[in-house]
Structure 1
Amino acid sequence: MSLMFLRPSRRLPWIVTALLLLLGTGTAAYAFWAATTSSSNAAAAADTLSPGSRPAVTAANSGMTVSWAGGTTVNGRSATGYTVTRYSAATGGTGTAATGGCAGTVTTLACTEQAVPGGIWYYTVTPAIALWTGTESPRSSGTSNDASAPVATVSGISPAPNTAGWNNTSPVTVTITADDGTSGSGVASISYTVDGGGQQTVNAAVATVPVSGDGTHTVSYFATDKVGNAGSPQSQTVRIDTQAPAAPAFTTVPTYVTLATVSGVAISGTAEAGTTVSLVASDSAGHSVPATASASGTGAWSATFNLSSLNEGTVTFSATATDAASNVGAAKTATSTKDTVAPAAASAWSVPTYVNSATAASIRISGNAEAGATVAVSAMSPGSATAVTGTAAANGGSWSLNLDLRSLKDGTVTYTATVTDAAGNTSSAATASDTKDTTAPILSITAPMYASGSSKVTGTTEAGTVVSVTVRDSALNTVTTQVNPTGTSWSTTMDISSLRDGALTYTASAADAAGNTGTVTAGGTTTKDTTLPSVVDVTGQNGVGSTSNSLDKGDFVTIEFSEAMDPAKFCAGWSGAELSGTATIADGGNNDTISFTAGTCVVPAGNLYLGANYVGTTPAVFAANGNGNGGTPSILTLDATGKILTIKLGTYRSNSGNLSTPVTQGIPSYRTAAGPADMAGNALPAGVTTSGKTKTNF
């Protein structure tokens, strides 16, 4: 140790002289000289300043509080101040002068440095007296300046939850690990609550939290370090479901899988909401088709299968539900029948040949089909608005139904039948046809106005029909005959001898091929007359402006019959209207004859006698073109009653026979010959002479 000496002052009661001796090794020592008396001849004694004591350090967030024991000299003198130094390591390195409350010379035994950077720090203190500084103290223990809270995390969940975050066993252990970092003060504790219950604290950096019971649980936790920094609360959700879901229920399973549906068979049902429904469709041979479905929030689920690969027959659907926790429930099954084979087309059709007006309201259709199938029939004819449809069940393989075809138009009716089996497979279409004819044949009948023992009836009708003709008298006696028309015309001569004379009614009916019947009654009234006609009177009369007792233009002769005569029997094709021709007077001695000629027609049949001698041997002719001056023809008429036949003389041809004048008048007569007949065809008896009732008045 080096010593420094000072000469004592004579004026001061004592003089203190200090001498600092710094040794190169060991603990630095400071020596002081101090007067031992207050006299002017004081003696000096040596003193030493001890090293600073090792400080104690505490952290408070970012602040560091340093405290130490006071330093003294060997002789008990106290240090008057201290300097504080901060190091980042326990040994070595360069110190940093403390800041804040620890900056400069600190005259107290403690100070606090604020806003210290994070880390582990080591502090020293160095005592000083006035200008003399002592030796630096040993470094303090490392103290963390921890400004950050520790971080707590869930480091494990046991057993580990599935991918959906669920556990299907209980309890579940949640492990929480906290870390305060390399510069932190260290984790003091971990605090947690389960489902908002009481807070639990574990004084360690790792905590295990047991969670039990089905349901969704929340573990809330945080960590606190050794300087009191508390982390923000975190939470971990723990889902536990140890209960398997109930077996799913089927709500829609088709009774049959058909050719039309086999590639998209829809199945639906219900299950626990949110579960996954695993489905398998299988046949009796062990083939299977899987599918999955998700149960909605209401529990509804649906799936679609392509069952083309499965065998025909029973298909079994199996469904199990798996919840979010992977619990698998019991299986539920349902069955369908796969039938993708279409039935054979309808066969052995039975349809009528014709549909007529009487049967159109209910036409019976029948046939054969697969037993148990349903047969759909539609009927359509050209021009109809819509088809007529119906269905029938093929019980035992046969079927029948009635269709109302009144809405269809007449013509060819085509029936189409499709067979649908119990599975819903439909056959190819089969057809049959017939003819709808609901129009009665149009029929006409013409009957004579008069008839006697037989009657010819004519008419028209639809080709192919059979005509039935009936004639009825006033006593309702009838005669009927059938006629097979040639084309559309028909005629028949009926024997009506069994009917009474008088009014007759003729009716014709015809049935066409379809069975429609038309009926018509002849117009007018036919009179049956079996009485022979006779001559009632023969007269001759003078015409207007003619000369008496001679034949002149305008004179006429009449024959009166007992009934209406048929004019055509006198002259073919004659209707009885005025007929122009030539009248000829032939010599007959005292009983000349008169006749009328018009072409080939000669009237009357027989001889009409005038009862007097009017001409010589040469006949006298009364006709037009007489004497080259035109003249007037003779006229033949049958009056409206058909009973009076009249020959009226025209202009006398002077170049014909000479006329006698005056003439002695006689009574005319008429001797009949074959030909004339009444309207019913009864012939006037031939060879009968009838005389007039009065003389001729020419």
Structure 2
Amino acid sequence: MGGWNRLLVVALGILLVSWSGPAASAFWSSVSSNGAAAKSDALAQGSKPSTSVTGTNVSVTWAASTTAAGRSVTGYSIARYGVASGGTRVPATGACAGPVTSLACVEANVPAGTWYYTVTPMLALWQGQESARSAGTTPVTDTTPPAAPTVTAPALVNSLNVGNVPVGGTAEANSTVTLTVSGAGASSFSQTIIANSAGGWTAAPVDVSRFTDGTITFSAKATDAAGNTGGAGTATSKKKSTPPTVANVELANVAGGVAGKIEKGDTVTITFSDVINGKTVCNTWPVTGSFTVNGNNQVTVNVSPNNVLSVSLTGCALNLGSVNLGAGYTSTALSFSGSGNGNGTTPNFSSMTWSGNRVVITLGSGVSGGNTVQSDPAVFASFTPAGNITDTDGNPLSTAAVTGTASRF
């Protein structure tokens, strides 16, 4: 009878499970050789899952489930609903199609909408109670990257704006713009800006002083709310931030003149390290090139009793500076201007020629200095520039006095 009793218990258990259907939450097993002894074990409810979204992919994770007696389950059935309660159960697809034996899966290409996921533990042919639903999960169905942003930057970066270059542009409205700045001599760097509702964006002032002079590239990419990143828009600037300097100031005696005396035909030459913007010296001159002023009473060279030379022109307010001659050529004020052609080889009139990085002043007729300056000790003239002289890139020339090499009239 013992064998028949065991068979009867098993048969009744099978009938009970079959009658309850696949949603039954218990199973029966024999616990000893005593056919009259059997007990049931229940599957716990599945744990509420967590979700995250990457584009159209939804990642689902959950905690492990066991039976009431501590047995491990053999898998999980994953589903989703289109509403927070009620609604139609939709079995998950792809890597989340059950049974899933791990504690995480990713359902790819999830349709548009807001979805609530559930987890149901399974043990062989039996399944436990479905979990509570996850928070609403909305996959991103926008896979179109935004257009490349427009980028505006100044054509020229000089010593005046090298530390705060203005950069901006337009991009997809409310997108995240990543601006990358690169150049020679240093590593590139980036900053992130949020475009406004009209698509405009403005970077924080950009310091490009770390790069050497040359081309600076500003590259911007936009990323939309769906995580799509588009192509790059670019702009370039020419960086020239090294200011010009006075390279030399030299005095020269006219050929055949009296060495050590200031007289007609003597010259003063001022040389700069870079091409000087002609308009910053005389507003009627071009920015680049060369210009000569000469003729009757067009250029006047004045020398003060303390031997400081200055120049004035007709037709513009000259912005040049003054030359300390470095020696006592005169103890009285002198003026050299003149008119006519003189002796045919050395004109009577004073002249001034600017040619890029050099200014040459030639003295015309006037009263020569009363003193003769000897060659020993050596004479060193110095030049003090006027303010607002710049190179052609807008870098200002220092107004500090610069002493030239040994020279004399």
The answer to whether the aligner puts 1:249 opposite 2:49 as a matched pair is yes
1:501 corresponds to which of 277, 294, 305 = 305
The answer to whether the aligner puts 1:319 opposite 2:118 as a matched pair is yes
Which residue matches 1:399?
Answer: 201
Which residue matches 1:661?
Answer: none
Q: TM-score, normalised by structure 2?
A: 0.56
1:304 corresponds to which of 101, 106, 125 = 106
Q: How does 1:117-196 map to 2 (within 5 A)?
A: 154-155=6-7, 156-160=10-14, 168=24
Change (3 A) 1:265 1:524: farther
Change (3 A) 1:453 1:328: farther
Which residue matches 1:373?
Answer: 175
Q: Secondary structure at the match of 1:364?
A: coil
What is the alpha-carbon distance in structure 1 between the residues aligned to residue 4 and residue 128 of structure 2? 32
The structure with higher relative contact order (CA 8 Å, sep 6+) is 2
Which residue matches 1:360?
Answer: 162
| Matched-pair contact (CA < 8 Å) for 1:246–1:330 | yes
Q: TM-score, normalised by structure 1?
A: 0.35
Change (3 A) 1:459 1:319: same
Change (3 A) 1:531 1:150: closer
Q: Secondary structure at the match of 1:221?
A: coil
The answer to whether the aligner puts 1:276 opposite 2:88 as a matched pair is no
Deviation at 1:372, TM superposition (A): 1.9
The answer to whether the aligner puts 1:266 opposite 2:59 as a matched pair is yes
| Identical-pair percentage | 18
Which residue matches 1:335?
Answer: 137
What is the alpha-carbon distance in structure 2 between the residues aligned to residue 345 and residue 439 of structure 1? 33
Which residue matches 1:351?
Answer: 153
Deviation sequence 1:130-155 (CA, Å, 0-9, x none): xxxxxxxxxxxxxxxxxxx9867832
Deviation sequence 1:488-521 (CA, Å, 0-9, x none): x666675455x843332669xxxxxxxxxxx998
| Matched-pair contact (CA < 8 Å) for 1:344–1:427 | yes
| Matched-pair contact (CA < 8 Å) for 1:446–1:457 | yes
Corresponding letter in the other structure for 1:502: N
Q: Secondary structure at the match of 1:358?
A: coil
Deviation sequence 1:169-198 (CA, Å, 0-9, x none): 6796xxxxxxxxxxxxxxxxxxxxxxxxxx
What is the alpha-carbon distance in structure 1 between the residues aligned to residue 23 and residue 41 of structure 2? 5
What is the alpha-carbon distance in structure 2 between the residues aligned to residue 428 and residue 452 of structure 1? 69
| Matched-pair contact (CA < 8 Å) for 2:251–2:269 | no
1:428 corresponds to which of 206, 221, 231 = 231
Which residue matches 1:437?
Answer: 240
What is the alpha-carbon distance in structure 2 between the residues aligned to residue 435 and residue 444 of structure 1? 24
| Matched-pair contact (CA < 8 Å) for 1:377–1:390 | yes
Q: Secondary structure at the match of 1:336?
A: coil
What is the alpha-carbon distance in structure 1 between the residues aligned to residue 164 and residue 263 of structure 2? 47
Q: Secondary structure at the match of 1:370?
A: coil
Q: How does 1:47-58 map to 2 (within 5 A)?
A: none
Deviation at 1:335, TM superposition (A): 1.2
Deviation sequence 1:259-298 (CA, Å, 0-9, x none): xxx4x54332336343614133769xx99853246788xx
What is the alpha-carbon distance in structure 2 between the residues aligned to residue 302 and residue 322 of structure 1? 13
| Matched-pair contact (CA < 8 Å) for 1:280–1:318 | yes
> Structure 2: 5+ residue runs without aligned partners?
67-72, 253-260, 312-319, 336-341, 347-370, 376-407
Deviation at 1:384, TM superposition (A): 3.4
Root-mean-square deviation (CA, aligned residues, Å) is 4.9
Deviation at 1:351, TM superposition (A): 0.5
Deviation at 1:420, TM superposition (A): 0.7
What is the alpha-carbon distance in structure 2 between the residues aligned to residue 440 and residue 432 of structure 1? 24
Deviation sequence 1:345-378 (CA, Å, 0-9, x none): 112x220111122322222210111222111111
Task: Point out the structure with the larger helix share.
Answer: 2
What is the alpha-carbon distance in structure 2 between the residues aligned to residue 237 and residue 167 of structure 1? 21
Which residue matches 2:189?
Answer: 388
Corresponding letter in the other structure for 1:276: Y
The answer to whether the aligner puts 1:221 opposite 2:34 as a matched pair is yes
What is the alpha-carbon distance in structure 2 between the residues aligned to residue 167 and residue 369 of structure 1? 54
Task: Point out the structure with the larger strand share.
Answer: 1
Deviation at 1:379, TM superposition (A): 1.7
Deviation sequence 1:536-588 (CA, Å, 0-9, x none): xxxxxxxxxxxxxxxxxxxxxxxxxxxxxxxxx99x89xxxxxxxxxxxxxxx
Deviation at 1:442, TM superposition (A): 5.0
How many residue pairs get aligned? The number is 298
Which residue matches 1:525?
Answer: 326
Deviation sequence 1:298-326 (CA, Å, 0-9, x none): xx82111221x634xx4424223234342
Corresponding letter in the other structure for 2:6: V
Q: How does 1:541-552 map to 2 (within 5 A)?
A: none
